Structure 1
């Protein structure tokens, strides 16, 4: 049973990595709504935020790496809170202050965050470089970049100023709800997996796949940057 769960988890990671072109995709109905909405639209923005996080697999891959070896609820809450703080700051400030950041470069950094976490989980820093970065600080800093990634997507649609602050708050709350829903499922899978005798072997494989996904995400975005 646990082996099947492990294989399903890895299959999900591979599925995420194989759909690079769909990252942050916005369907036509959502695109039209974002461009034409007027006034406060709390519930629709709440829904769009949750949907974006659940389908934003680059964010989820990073969070998988963050919580992979966390065994205590308090630690999970701390690291998720740091990530939430980071992306909330730059999401809100990026849109409200109209801070323009190249979307390809931001998404490339998000790809690097996935690579970093897989490498960190495998003990790469200690083994190859002889030191261990402050994981909490790294999660907060990468959270800032993830928030800019969200902000750049919203800026593309030139959302009307009328009701913008309230709509952004709703979007951000939706992102958090989507994040907690996805993390709940991920934690259940990982917790069940930990009771398997094959956990150590699949942990190495999964974090290696995280690194590979990070490399592909970064390469894909840099290719888009240099070819655009």
Structure 2
């Protein structure tokens, strides 16, 4: 009775992954608000928005050649400012702040080029600030706005805007550290659940956990304890590895080009799935999980490094985000392991889920690898 919903859920996940070939780095923008420390009721703003997102929303590629030039972006500066600032509202003491756009620059983030929109907001009182954020929510419900707010004393607050949390209020005299921590826990959970390449890598390693290899054939395992122990080793190795590089990258001790990282992550998914079809690392999947987990950690870190937080705020965000990633990962494992163990002896699990599923993962990841390595777009997202 449980076979049909299990297969349906797994195939739905694989289908979603195949339809989102650029799914690793979610759409994020980076909003920085700094309260003027000279006594004026002025908020200085800087908003980094991905050019790919703006092109999707308002169309920047005027010649339609699939590439954005500086002239194309510069010609639309007024439209970019109007579009973005119509989706941002600041208010204090019950009155809206008057926002005036400033100059625009270009900057490179880990996942591509961003426009940097400078602006100033004249507010009646900035002891309490209400921020309403709705950029791209109408076209991309997965979009997140990451806020860095610096008060007059230099204390940094952070927040994450989503369609469910589009309006937030900040008491500038003090930062709610617990709420910031919980926000990043939530963002870490969400990041792993929409990070389809991470999910497929993890699933590729988990699929054989309920099976045993005898005479080059996969057969149903007989012990749930043995399967659970195998999963524990894999998850622990992956967690330890990506936590190491996530921390090192977020603290800016190590930096790798995003294109290299994303390509390597796609390659890791291919190898993990191929190992199910042609065993290369028999009994050593935890080693694979650790080795490639180091690469996946750099992918996790991109959202924090691009925010540019100071050391004190970064540590809080790092702890919360990493904990959220682990919660999201363990949730997947908690659902997958018992169901797969119950169905391990069926033909459908061994042939459809394990063999055909692994082959499908290889094909999906191969598309990701080509796209990321050569900066192509083979599948429309």
Q: 1:75 aligns with which of 186, 206, 230?
A: 230
Relative to structure 1, is the Cα distance of residues 212 and 133 closer, same or farther in structure 2, using a 3 angstrom cutoff? Answer: farther
Question: Is 1:51 matched with 2:201?
Answer: no
Which residue does 2:145 correspond to in 1? 32
Aligned-pair distance for 1:188?
Answer: 4.2
Note the alpha carbon deviations across 1:159-188, whole angstroms, 9 max, x for none. 233321122111111110111112222334
TM-score normalised by length of structure 2: 0.53
Quick one: distance in 2 between partners of 1:172 and 1:98? 17
Which residue does 2:343 correspond to in 1? 193
Residues 100-119 of structure 1: pairs in structure 2 closer than 5 A: 100-119=255-274
Q: Identify unmatched segments of 5+ residues in structure 2.
A: 30-132, 134-142, 151-155, 158-176, 211-226, 377-381
* RCO higher in structure (CA 8 A, sep ≥6): 1
CA contact 1:65–1:207 (8 Å) conserved in 2: yes
Deviates more, 1:202-211 or 1:18-27: 18-27
Relative to structure 1, is the Cα distance of residues 200 and 175 closer, same or farther in structure 2, using a 3 angstrom cutoff? Answer: same
TM-score normalised by length of structure 1: 0.86
Quick one: distance in 2 between partners of 1:188 and 1:73? 9
Quick one: distance in 2 between partners of 1:216 and 1:142? 19
SS at match of 2:307: coil
Quick one: distance in 1 between partners of 2:259 and 2:283? 26
Q: 1:84 aligns with which of 219, 225, 239?
A: 239
Residues 128-147 of structure 1: pairs in structure 2 closer than 5 A: 134-147=284-297
Q: 1:64 aligns with which of 203, 209, 225?
A: 203
Quick one: distance in 2 between partners of 1:32 and 1:159? 14
Relative to structure 1, is the Cα distance of residues 31 and 18 closer, same or farther in structure 2, using a 3 angstrom cutoff? Answer: closer
Quick one: distance in 2 between partners of 1:132 and 1:184? 24
Deviates more, 1:211-220 or 1:142-151: 211-220
Cα RMSD between the aligned structures?
2.4
Which residue does 1:128 correspond to in 2? none
Relative to structure 1, is the Cα distance of residues 219 and 44 closer, same or farther in structure 2, using a 3 angstrom cutoff? Answer: same
Aligned-pair distance for 1:85?
Answer: 0.3
Which residue does 1:23 correspond to in 2? 24
Quick one: distance in 2 between partners of 1:196 and 1:90? 39
Question: Is 1:209 matched with 2:360?
Answer: yes
Which residue does 1:10 correspond to in 2? 11
Aligned-pair distance for 1:54?
Answer: 1.3
Q: Identify unmatched segments of 5+ residues in structure 1.
A: 126-130
Relative to structure 1, is the Cα distance of residues 186 and 153 closer, same or farther in structure 2, using a 3 angstrom cutoff? Answer: same
Quick one: distance in 2 between partners of 1:98 and 1:175? 21
Quick one: distance in 2 between partners of 1:224 and 1:133? 35
Note the alpha carbon deviations across 1:109-137, whole angstroms, 9 max, x for none. 11111100110011254xxxxx8594322
